[in-house]
Amino acid sequence: MSRRTARTSPKAEITNLGRIASPKGVAAFAYLDEPDEAFGKLQYRITVYFTDKKAPDYLAFVNNLKNIAKEHGASKLPLKMVDQKMFDKASERGYTTHPVGTPYMEFSSKFDPDNPRPIPVFNAKAEKEDGLQVWSGDIVRVEGSIAVWEINRDTGLKVYLNAVQLLKAERNTKGGTGSTFAAEEEFLSDDLESSEDRPTLFDADAMINGEDDLDDLL
């Protein structure tokens, strides 16, 4: 009778590089107050589609990622693109999806049942607002911590989810500490005053293995 030897997956070495802010994008699959149970693990997560590849904040974000990847020798990147297979699968299921070639990014954070920490949501004025929910189709920005991972001589970038800023509520379908967001004047009502003493960055928790060449995302 043969004996099976249990195989253990090697653990990635993670080096945190600091905080990063995403450009504005369209939210999907938002699980911020309760974790998602998909993919065999509990995690907070959100996907953001960047529908305007010519937007200055998107171009600056991509260039920043390119520089970070080059500096740290990362070959795998957190940005992905909607491909034909993904588009066809969504269409077959009757889901509305973004066109082939739309760049997107997934952000996630591990759920700890012993210490649940829902993802905070900030309004366009950069104020943390309890009970504020993000739905698919909403315009958002995400704050995360960017890190380099290395495993078996393979190296890439990953981003951990820390906070979400709701810039404009579209309210299509729901997906599921101090502010580091800047107030977005474009999305503020005339009777609101932005907070000038708020910092303008982000922080976070999870792994992205996008393999698209960043040049294809411009």
Confidence of residue 184 (pLDDT cuts 50, 70, 90): low
Contact (CB, 8 A) for 162 and 183:
no
Give residue limits of the domains in the chain: 14-188+198-217
Q: Give the whole-angstrom CA distance, residue 62 versus residue 74.
A: 14
Per-residue DSSP letter, 8: -
Residue that has been written with the tokens 């171009």 in this structure:
59
Reading the block at residue 90, the tokens are: 């969504």
Q: What is the dihedral of CA 75, 79, 82, 83, to 10 degrees?
A: 0
pLDDT in tens, 90-140: 888 877 678 899 999 999 988 988 888 999 999 999 999 988 999 999 999
Q: Give the whole-angstrom CA distance, residue 77 versus residue 89.
A: 24
- CATH 2.40.50.140 for the 14-188+198-217 domain, yes or no: yes
pLDDT in tens, 40-92: 789 999 999 999 999 999 999 999 999 999 998 888 888 899 989 988 888 88
pLDDT in tens, 82-96: 989 988 888 888 776
Instruction: Find the length of the chain.
Output: 218
